[in-house]
Structure formats: C-alpha cells, structure tokens
Structure 1
C-alpha cells in the first residue's frame, strides 16, 4: 500500500515537472514572439522600453495576462508606433484581445488571422495598412479595420466568420459590390462599410440580420432602391445610407423600425412624398432627408415624433407652410429646411421651442415680418438663418443681454431701417450677414465692440455717411472679412479703423489653414465677390481675410497703413473716387490673391513693390490715370490687357505701347499732361496757338496787299521758287 502511494506521488511529481517545463517553454516562446514584434516597429515615445528579457512578461507595458500568466491582451492604441506589424503576435496561443489602433503602422496586412484560434477582438483601425481583406478566425467577434488604405473587393468568404458581432471596414478604398453572404453572419450587431467605393444594389438578404442595431453604408456609390426587407430589422437603431445614388421612394416598411433613433438618407436621389409610416417612429431622434427630390407638404403628423431633436429636410421640393406641429416638439434642437419652396409667415409659436439651437429656413418664399421673439426667446439659439426670403419691415429690437447667437444671416430680404443697437448684447456673434436688403442710416459703430465678430457683411444696402475712426480701444479684435460694397459711404478711407484690424495681421502664424468656422451642428458660409465672380464659401477658413469697399463714394488717398494687413487674401476698392498714388506698402500684402483698384482716379506709376505679391492671381487697375511702365516679371507676366485698360499713359507688356529706355512712354509733354488730368493747361495752350494764328493771318493779308499794289515783288517770287524746287526734290527721293 505504501509502495503504491509512493509510486503515485512520483507520477504526480513527474507530471507537474513536465507541466512546468512545458509552461516555461511556452512562456519562452511568447517572449520571443513579442520581441520579434518589437523588432519590426519604431517606438519613438519609448512606450515599449520595458519589453526586454529582464522584465517579467506580464509586467510589460500594454500586456495583460490571464490567471495562468499567459498573454491575453495586447493594448497599444494611440502610441505613435510605426513601421510594419509582424504576424508573430497572432501566433500567441491564448491571445484574445489585440488593439493597435490609431498608430502609424504601414505595409501590407497579413492574411493568417485564421491561425489565431483564440482571438476574439482585433482592432487595427486608423493606420496606413494596405492590401485586401484577410481571412478571419472562426472565434473572432469584433473586427475593426476601418480608416486604413485597404483595396479590392469584400470577399464572399467573409460570411464564414459566423461569430462576428461587429464588422467595421469603413474608410478604406474597397470597391465592388456588397456580398450577400454577409447575411450568413446571424449574430451581427453592427455592419459598417461607409466611406469606400462600393457600387451596385444593397443586398435584400441583409434583411435577415434581425439582430442588427447599426448599418453604416454612407459615402459610397450604391444605387437602386432601399430594400423593403429592411423593414424586418426591428432592432436597428442607426440606419445610415447617406451620400449614395439610391433612388425611388422611401419604403413605407421603414415605419416598422420601432427602435430606430437615427435615419440618415441625405444626398441621394430619393423622390416622392414622405411616407406617413415614418411618423410612427416614436424613438426617432434625428431625421435627415436633405438633398433629395422629395416633394409635397410637411405633414402635421410630425407632432408624433416627440423624441425628435434634429430635423433636416434641406434642398428638396417641399411646399406649403411650416407646420405648427413643429412648435410642439419638446426636445427639438435643430430645424434646417432651407432651399425648398415653403411659403407663408413664421408663426410666433416657434418661440415655444425652448431647447432650440439652430433655425435655418433660408432660401424659401417665406414672407411677413420677423417675429420679435426670435431675438430673445432662447439662450441656446446660436444659429438663425433666414436668408433669401421676402421678409419685410424692420429687424426686431429685442436682442437681450443673454443673447447666445453666434451666426446671424438675414441676407437678401426686404428689411428696412437700421441695425438695432440691442445686437450689441450678442457678445458671442461670429458672423453677421445683412447684405442685399434696404437698410439705411450710418455705419453701426457699436459693432466694433463685439469681441468674437469675424465676418461682417453689409453689402448692397443704402448705408451712408463717413466711416470715422473708432473710439473703442481695441475695435473689431477678431474681424477678418469686411464687405461694405454697394452702399453710399463717403469720405476718406478710415485709416483709424484699418490700422486696428489686428486679426488681419499674421493670421497664418496664429491659426491652422485646416480650421474652419463652424458651430456644433452647422458649417458657417458666406457669399463674396472674388476675382469678379460671386463665390459661396461653404467652409470659411480661419486664416481667410478680405476687404471689399467697392462701389461707394470714398475719396482721397489709399492710406499706406493698409500694408500692415499682411494676411489679406482679397482687397477690392474699385468704383470709388480714390486719388493719389498706389502706396508702395501694398507690396507687404504677400498673401494677396486678388486686388481690384479699378475705376478710380489713381495717378503715378504702378509700384515695383507689387511684384512681391507672388500669390496674386487677379489684378485690375483699369480706368485710372496711371502712367509709366508696367512692372515686369513674376506674376505680372500672367496679367492681360484688361488689367490696365483705360490708363492711356501706361506702357510695356502686355500692352502694345513700348517704353523708352528711361522707362517713360514716347509721348509729347502735352499728352502726359492730359493723362495727369491737366485739361485747363491744355486748353490754355491751344488758345494761345489759335490767337497767334489769327493775328498772323490778318497781318500777312495787309502786308501782301500793300506789296502787290506797289509793284512786282521780285524778291518774294525768287524765294518762293527756290523753296518749291527743294521741296520737290526731297519728295522725289522719298
């Protein structure tokens, strides 16, 4: 008995020894695999500095082990690691979780994920990986390869990944059709294929995936109709099919999606009426059907969408009035129905929307007056856009001290009167556009106290008066775009205002050119005259600066201080009565892309310093009184005759009139005086000539009469004959 017990103990000891030996060998293998992975990458931040043989494996940064000290998790997200991914980490026998997202990995993606029989989670998103979609392990539940540079088609074998719950292949260069085999992944909860180059119809078989909670197919080239079978996806919360080529009507079966919260169908070619079934989606939070061909009235049934926070029906063909039912939606934060055919007035009931942040009803046929309550009914209202309608009357004087407006656009209506002083309470205003109305009065000087104002457009109104220097210590601290064109302003250009426009100086050093003006849910935009054309900037760069004071009655010289506005991209002072020379300081405007000084009374030569404006693409100096040579070289070699026409004393390329070696045009002094507007002197010179001619004629007639009466004038005949013969010989040689 004792022998048997001892033998059992020996066997147990041997088994444990072999197990420990096997474990130590396996751990050694894992060490080598991870060191091989480390050797293939670049780690500039030193996050993997303790990945060495002297540190216990389970204490390495980004490594988590299971209860048996085997590697279970590798978490290296957002560590700025670059170079290539070694496939060695996918040979770890018990690895379950790998996250290498948001790094700089490049190179072709591996194709042996199937060898990792234990891997459940793999995230390689936001890298620079290339190649095609790899095979996946049967155990894999979450696969995220989004925002890389993968190409090719989605393989039909993807349907064999039967345990997948989340599949994200968005933001790549995948082409071809969506394989219907994806419908075999019965446990799939999320399917994202957005931002690729996929074509063809959406497979109807996807309607079998009743567990789906999110479909993201936006920003592709998908065509055909939205499958009626999508009405079977009763668990879905997010349906994103935007920015494709889908056509036909919105299927009424979508009304079965009782859990749907976000429906994005914008930028397609959908047509027809809004299906009534949509208004049964009680949990719908955001509905965006913009930029389609939908028509008809917006039904009062919209009152059923009591959870709705955002409604966007932009750029369709909706008609009728704004439904009063909108004013009864308690959580509504955003209304955008611009560019339709809506008519009627805005009801004051709209001010019942206490949660509203964005109201955009521009580019319709709305009329009446602007409800006074819009100025002060909601502290949260940041966007108010009513442009291109037919509103009349005055702008309400109701902007309170708690005004939260950031963007205010009443452009191209029929508004009269002056800007209300109460707008000075809107301390957060960043953009104001009141162009194309009938506003009158003088310039609203109180605007220069607004600390955040960056864009001010008052063009095409009836504003008048002299622009005087501001009394504010730091006027317009952030103003970058100023458009006062087509008004009746007079007097000299406001040197005091110009020299204080600090935001137009050194903008490129303060901001990134990739930053744009925008609200939380809204991109700011503005219409400007650029290089003679009307341009809509749908994204306003924070480094963009321009001034347009054209078509007013400004006179006097252009102040040299304008050369300090070094970040200006555009300057238009045309159609005024400006005189004097073009200041040489304009050569400091090295970022200028267009300059229009046409139709003024400018004199002198074109400064050579303008050649320093190497970005200048459009120059118009026509119809002034400029003289002398046109600067040559750099961008001046690209401008045509039209840039200089109407300046009779200019010379040099591209004009046909050559210049003398000293740089002056071959012209008589009287011609240059004419170019300098010396009409009085020229008139006086001709009067003298005419008077002398008349007096000489009378005196000659009298002397001739006396001479001929007293006898033959032999000396006169002889002299005349000699001169006549000399003249004849000279003509014959010619």
Structure 2
C-alpha cells in the first residue's frame, strides 16, 4: 500500500503527447491516466507470471468510492510523504500481459525512484527508449523475467543514479532463446556512467563481449550477476572491489580468468564461476574469505591440490568443485566445515582416499563424491548424517559391506552407490525402512541383495516402500523381488545381469502400469512371461530391454509409447506380428539372434521417420526387405545380416540420409551394385558380403560418392569387370592416416528426452586371415574387402591413396599384372591379402615400408624373383608365398643364389632337356594359380606344347 500524506500534494508536471495535459493540481487526471494505462492496456493472465505468490495487483485499483482520488493507496504504488509524488511503482508478478508502447504514461512519473515490472509478460516488446531520459531520478530498475526483447536502449546509460539494474532472464520459455541483447551501444558504453551501481544483473542477456575493465572501479558494487555469453579475460581487479558480496559469472564458457590472492578485507559471501574457463590453482588465500557462504566453481579448469586452508571457511554452506582437475588427496580439513549443507567434489583427478573427513558434517543434505577414486570401506559414522537427502558415491573403488547404520538416514531420498566394489549380503529391508527413499541404485557391485518373500510388499510396521527408480543390476538376485508387486509409482526398474530364472510373474504385469518408463531385465535366465498379453500393460513405457535371456515363444509386443525395444539373443519364434506397427514412437528396435521367421511387416519401412536403430540379424526372416523408407528417415543403423532375405535392395534406402551403418551379409539378395547408396552423406560402414550381387561396378555419378565410408565389404558375391577405380578415388575418409589420442568408437547416438540411445557398431571383419567379431570398432579403422568375386584386370595404383587403410583383401579374384608399388604408401596397413589371383612380376621393394604389417598373403599367384627381406616380409610363414614357383628366398626353400627364380622365357623353355634347369632330381612344381604360363616338372615325362606354353601333365 502507498503512504498517505496530509495536506496538499504536488504532482508531476509534464506536457504529454496525445490528448492529455496533466496540470499541477490535476490529481484526478493523473489517477485516471495511470489507471487507464496499467489497468486497461493489459489483460490479466495467470500464465504471465511464474512466481507462486503472484497476484493481480491492478485488479484492486479503483476510481470510484472512498479512495477515488488517491492512487497512493493502490497496491504497488508508493508516494512521497511530503510532496505526494509517485516515487515507487512495483507491479512485479501481477499477471500483466500485453504490449508496452513507447509513448505511455509510465514515463510521466518523473519523480519515480523505483520501477519494478519483473515477472510479467510484455509480449516481446522492446524496452521503450526515448522516454527513459524523463526518469533520470531512478535508483532501482527491474525488468527481469518479463519477455522484453531487442536491443537494450542506450538511454539507460543516462540513469546515473541507478544503484540496481536487473534486466535478467528475458528468455523465450519454449525455445530458450535470449531475447535481450547488447550490441550498440556495447557493454562498456552502456554502463560507463552508472558508477553508483550496487547490483548489476544481466543474466541471459546476449552480450558476447569481454567484461569491461572499468567495472573494477565501481567501488559501490555489491552484486554482479551475469550468464550471458561473456568472453575474454575476466578483470582480476573486480575481485578486489571493497563492497562486493556476490559475484556470479556462471555459464559463460568462453570467459577465462584466474583467482587472485584474496585479501583479508574481502566481503565476498557468494562466488559462482561454474561452467567458465577459469583455470589455475585454488589459492591458499581462500581462507581470507571469511564471509564466504557459497563457492561454486564446478565444470571449470581448475587444477592443483585443494588447499588445506579451505577448512577455515567456517561460514561455508555450499561448496561445489565438481568437474575440475584437482589432484592429490581430499583435505581432511573439510571436516571443519560444520555449517555446510551442499558438498560436491565429484569428477576430479584425486588419488585414492576415503571418507574420513565427512564425520562432522552433520548438516549435509547433499553429498556427491562420485568418480573420485575413493577407496576403503563405507564408514559406519555415515549414519550420523541424518539430514542427508542425496548421496552420490557411484563409480569409485569403495569396498566391503554397506553398513547397517545406513538405516539411520531417515531423510535420504536418493542414494547412488552403483559401480563400486561393495560386497557381501545386504538385506533389502534396510532400504525399505527409509520412508523418504524415492530412488536407489546398487547396480554393478559385488553385492548379494537379499529380498525376503513378502506377499504384501510391506514392512512389519505396515509401511509400503515406494520407489521411482530402482537399480539392482548385477546384485545376484535369483527371483523377482516380492516387494515389487506393491509398487505403484516406479519409473525406472533395472534388474539386468542377475540370476533370475523361470518366468516373469503374472503380478508383475500389474506393477506401476501407468508410471513405468524404463524396464531392463537383460542377461538373466528368464524363459518368458507367466501370462503373455497381446500388448504389455505399461502404458507409458519408453524402454523395454529383455535381451540375453532364454525367452521362448512369440515376440512380446510393448505398448505404443515404446521408444526402444531390445529382445535380442533369446529363443523367440514365429513371425514379427503386424501389431508391432502400432509402436509409432519407436526409435530403436533390436530383435537380433532369435529364431524368428516369415516375412517382415512392410510397416517397418514406414517407421523410418522415427526409427534410428534397426537390428534383425541372426534370424530366419525371408521375403523382401520393406520397400517404403520415407523421405524424412531418421535411420542411422540397419543390420539385416544372417537371414534369408531375397530380391533386390530397396531403392528407398536412398532416403535414409542419416544412415551410418548398413550390414546385409549372408542373405539371398540378388542385385547389381547399389551405386545410389553413394549419395548417403553419413554412411561409414557398408557390408554386402555373401549375397548374389553381380555385374560390373560402373563409375560413380559424382566425385563425392561415399564421402565418409571407412569399411566396405562386398566379398563373396559375383561382381565382375575391373576393380572400381573411380569409386576408390572417392573414398576420401580412408585417405588420412589416423592419429589416436584416445580410444573412440564408431557409433550412432541419439538423445530423446531423458534417455540416450547409443549403438556401438558391431561387425565381423575378415582380417589377418581370419574372421574376427568386433563388439566395438575404433573410429580410425579402415577396411576394404573385395575378395571372392570375379574381378579382373590390374590392381589400381589409386589404392595407394588410401593412407588410412588398415586391411586390404583382394584375394580370390582374377586380377593380373603386377603388385603396384603405390601400396607401399599404406603405412597403417596391418593386413594385406592378394592371394589366389594371377598377379605376376616381383614383390615390390616398397612393401618393406609397411612396418605395421602383421598379415601378408600373396600365395597362389604367378609372382617371381626374390622375396624382400627387410622388416616383416622375410618373417612371414612360407604359406604367405606358396604357389608362386618363381619366388625364392626366405621363408621358401628355394634359394636365390645361382638359381634365378624368374619367369621362364620361351628360349629357356626350349633349352635342351639335359640343361641344368631340367636336371634330374628337381621336385619343383610351378603350378602358378591360373597363370599365363604353367610349368609342370615331375620325375618322369615332360611335354612341351607347340604354342610355346607349358602344360601340366601328370605321369603315373
């Protein structure tokens, strides 16, 4: 309510554009005008304000009745006692919705000191510019959270008496777009005259500017809040401002800086640098910040050790050091921070340590030390932290049992204990007794979780334990826990990698039917459902993973809400029912390694506008592949290998522009080379092995075919003609040698809401002479396998451009000519197979440069001359060279000395029989696999053909 004064009032006097002129004594006119502007120009909409305590202040403004002439009694209006001037207008959180015009009555209140319009919805209005100069006496301006947009007007820089400026959080609530920006004038120009500022908040204003050095001169500044795209180096002098209490420049990822040596006179009580590029050490002078209440430096680049002196900050209630590179031990002095309620040390580079320092921190409500190399036992005194609501200790090396004192944490809501080395038996009733528990993860330890049979799912005191998330993977469970039958609000349930046998109980189908979204029971010994309905009953299910069990019978069909369905590696039989077509939200489907048969429903092609992962390999599916892949296809992975699919490859696969992985090996497809796949910009793996593909591979339609292809296997088909020279030239992704800094794997991933779908590419690759199954494929691997076809002609020299190649297999074709010297450029090559062709000439000396070569096979060709002995080539077994009777040298028995192991010429073939080459006792048989000449030399009869070619004649 406003302050009412006695006597006459002096009101603001100013000519106004339009029909109004407010005279010195025109009290009623002032009230009428203000009333019309604020009450009639805006509608009242509850969605315009987000504060739970918001209410429509202007709804109580009146022009008639007892207080019709005194707006100072109106809600949100404050007048000066002596003069009657309106000096404060607070309409924050008033449900105001509408557009603010530049010529409105607001700017006639020239005596205004405070203006607060925060938390309304002004419909993306620009902040009125020309009239701000009339509000020269403003000391407080708050336009935050009100959907203003555009450039912040330079006129604000003229408000030299401002002590508080808050333009934060003007953000589109749907897109997250920052609505306000500072470009012209720039940041420095906007604030250079505002030297009286005490609080400056520009959070989520789009600035993209360095922090002006002149801010270090704003001695009155107490609060500096920005999360707005700041860049450059943060002026260190700002830390030394004498009155600065709150400094937050969070979420400016390009903002760099270092912490200074703090002085004892510092008044900082809040320091937030999270998600910036601040780096360096946390100085030991941190102890001088005796007023510090909050320190948030998570996700920065700080390093070094945490100083022991941090334990002297006895006012600290909030400490977040997550995601830096702190090393060494967690200082034991943390035990002195007895006022602390929030503590996160997670994801640093600490050496091994324990939790001994946590004993005195009895006010903690949040403790996170995940991924921090913690070792040792979980201390029993953890049970003294009775205020804890969240405990995150996952992904450490903690050992031993979970102490019974855990049962004293009666306020605990979310304990994360997974991925440690906890061992021993744990009675699950201990957790059921924690009445506030909503989530629990014990997965991936060495625990044996004991659940007692309990038909009612209740404790002796009658309490029904209810979970939203329950992680019991790898907990040595042998049965479905009975307490699940009474769960009504489960969201995520993980029971994978246990020893659960038998059938999924019928009562499980009544558990959390409206809330369950994630259900994982993979890697057990389950045979199926005790009662299998036509459609599983969980109406909001998003993920169902029942893979790697012993499930028999027909394929279970989850609800239409399902996003990811994995039933792979079971014994499921029958056809894929057409009811699967109801899963319109499906983005991942894996039915591989079952016994499914019959034809696929053609609707699977229609799924391609949502489906990203499709694996049906290792079944007995037949018929044609669905033909209807859509233009908006999201498919990234298609694996239909090891089935009985027939016919042609559907041309509609060309619509799958996001496709990275296409594996169709071991089917009965009959088609020509699918040249149209070359236009797919993301394709990395193409496997057509062991089908009926045939014909000549022509030239590509452009120079950018298969731009990201790293693995191609078209072996065991009937391709003919010359090797695809022009296509090989277009395989640009294989031309670069790998630089491996850390292991990364070829994969496809996609995030949907809170769930991340990730598929690591799996593949059987013939390399180094054997078939190898890769659960993961490094992203630097490059493989070309064109073997077991009918290719002829020479090996193209352009293969030497593929300098990133690791494996090349051209075996079992009809290739002729010499081995190109350009193959010596393939410095990454580990496997080279040119066997069973008609290659002639010598082994190029350049191949000795292949220092990574582990497998080399040129057997059964027509090669001649000495085997190069440098590096690996002389160390391979003789099987790598057998069947080339013109070769000599280690490891073959043929020595090169006086015997020149070269291709016999016509003249040498006509030498007299008594010549040294035909000396009795030779048992060499130069069969030369399919060569242009064949020498047969046996003890017995020799026949020389009239066409000057040798023929092999067996004598008996």
Q: Confirm or deny a common fold (TM above 0.5).
A: yes
Q: Deviations over 1:195-249 (max 9, x none)?
A: 2122223334324423223222222222334531222344344433333233467
Shift of 1:108: 4.2
Specify whether residues 415 and 687 from structure 1 end up closer, same or farther in structure 2 by C-alpha distance, changes over 3 A only: closer
Equivalent residues of 2:679, 2:705 under 8 A apart:
yes
Specify whether residues 559 and 312 from structure 1 end up closer, same or farther in structure 2 by C-alpha distance, changes over 3 A only: farther
How far apart, in 1, do the equivalents of 2:248 and 2:770 lie? Answer: 57
Specify whether residues 305 and 652 from structure 1 end up closer, same or farther in structure 2 by C-alpha distance, changes over 3 A only: farther
Which stretch shifts more, 290-299 or 132-141?
A: 290-299
- Tell me which of 777, 785, 806 is aligned to 1:548: 785
**Matching residue of 2:848:** 611
**Matching residue of 1:391:** 621
- Tell me which of 426, 436, 442 is aligned to 1:241: 442
SS in 1 for 2:579: helix
Equivalent residues of 2:399, 2:422 under 8 A apart:
yes
**Matching residue of 1:58:** 244
SS in 2 for 1:173: coil
Specify whether residues 558 and 76 from structure 1 end up closer, same or farther in structure 2 by C-alpha distance, changes over 3 A only: same
Equivalent residues of 1:452, 1:478 under 8 A apart:
yes
**Matching residue of 1:504:** 734
How far apart, in 2, do the equivalents of 1:650 and 1:689 lie? Answer: 24
1:560 aligned onto 2:766: no
Specify whether residues 316 and 139 from structure 1 end up closer, same or farther in structure 2 by C-alpha distance, changes over 3 A only: same
How far apart, in 2, do the equivalents of 1:451 and 1:63 lie? Answer: 40
**Matching residue of 1:272:** 478
**Matching residue of 1:460:** 690
Equivalent residues of 1:315, 1:338 under 8 A apart:
no
1:594 aligned onto 2:781: no
**Matching residue of 1:215:** 415
Equivalent residues of 2:427, 2:450 under 8 A apart:
no
**Matching residue of 2:860:** 623
How far apart, in 1, do the equivalents of 2:740 and 2:485 lie? Answer: 48
Shift of 1:188: 1.0
**Matching residue of 1:187:** 387
**Matching residue of 1:49:** 236
How far apart, in 1, do the equivalents of 2:345 and 2:861 lie? Answer: 62
How far apart, in 1, do the equivalents of 2:804 and 2:348 lie? Answer: 36
Equivalent residues of 2:821, 2:844 under 8 A apart:
yes
Shift of 1:110: 4.1
SS in 2 for 1:523: strand
SS in 2 for 1:206: helix
How do 1:637-716 and structure 2 match up within 5 A? Answer: 638-660=875-897, 674=926, 677=931, 679=933
**Matching residue of 1:493:** 723
Shift of 1:574: 1.6
- Tell me which of 524, 537, 555 is aligned to 2:760: 524
Shift of 1:403: 2.6
Equivalent residues of 2:246, 2:271 under 8 A apart:
no
How far apart, in 2, do the equivalents of 1:171 and 1:661 lie? Answer: 69
- Tell me which of 797, 801, 813 is aligned to 1:576: 813
Equivalent residues of 2:792, 2:814 under 8 A apart:
yes
Equivalent residues of 1:658, 1:665 under 8 A apart:
no
Equivalent residues of 1:310, 1:333 under 8 A apart:
no
1:99 aligned onto 2:296: yes
Equivalent residues of 1:575, 1:599 under 8 A apart:
yes
How far apart, in 1, do the equivalents of 2:590 and 2:411 lie? Answer: 37
More helix by share: 1
Q: Deviations over 1:566-595 (max 9, x none)?
A: 222211112222221111111222222221
SS in 1 for 2:269: strand
Equivalent residues of 1:128, 1:149 under 8 A apart:
yes
Equivalent residues of 1:212, 1:235 under 8 A apart:
yes
Specify whether residues 364 and 682 from structure 1 end up closer, same or farther in structure 2 by C-alpha distance, changes over 3 A only: closer
**Matching residue of 1:444:** 674
How far apart, in 2, do the equivalents of 1:688 and 1:550 lie? Answer: 34
**Matching residue of 1:28:** none
Q: Deviations over 1:418-442 (max 9, x none)?
A: 2222222222211111112222233
Specify whether residues 248 and 634 from structure 1 end up closer, same or farther in structure 2 by C-alpha distance, changes over 3 A only: same
SS in 1 for 2:319: strand
Which stretch shifts more, 274-283 or 599-608?
A: 274-283
Equivalent residues of 1:166, 1:189 under 8 A apart:
yes
Shift of 1:105: 4.0
**Matching residue of 1:294:** 500
SS in 2 for 1:628: strand
Specify whether residues 624 and 630 from structure 1 end up closer, same or farther in structure 2 by C-alpha distance, changes over 3 A only: same
Which stretch shifts more, 586-595 or 308-317?
A: 308-317
**Matching residue of 2:638:** 408
Equivalent residues of 1:305, 1:329 under 8 A apart:
no
SS in 2 for 1:469: coil
TM-score in terms of structure 1 length:
0.78
**Matching residue of 1:130:** 328
SS in 2 for 1:518: strand
- Tell me which of 364, 370, 375 is aligned to 1:175: 375
Equivalent residues of 1:601, 1:625 under 8 A apart:
yes
Equivalent residues of 2:246, 2:269 under 8 A apart:
no
Shift of 1:72: 0.6
Specify whether residues 538 and 678 from structure 1 end up closer, same or farther in structure 2 by C-alpha distance, changes over 3 A only: closer
How far apart, in 1, do the equivalents of 2:898 and 2:615 lie? Answer: 59
Q: Deviations over 1:359-396 (max 9, x none)?
A: 11222233332222111146221111122122222222
Equivalent residues of 1:660, 1:666 under 8 A apart:
no
SS in 1 for 2:658: coil
SS in 1 for 2:285: helix
Equivalent residues of 1:601, 1:624 under 8 A apart:
yes
- Tell me which of 403, 421, 424 is aligned to 2:654: 424
**Matching residue of 2:366:** 166
**Matching residue of 2:774:** 537
Equivalent residues of 1:302, 1:325 under 8 A apart:
no
Shift of 1:139: 0.8
Aligned residues: 642
Specify whether residues 627 and 243 from structure 1 end up closer, same or farther in structure 2 by C-alpha distance, changes over 3 A only: farther
SS in 1 for 2:500: strand
Structure 2, unpaired ranges of 5+: 1-230, 251-261, 459-463, 537-556, 751-756, 910-916, 918-923, 947-956
TM-score in terms of structure 2 length:
0.61
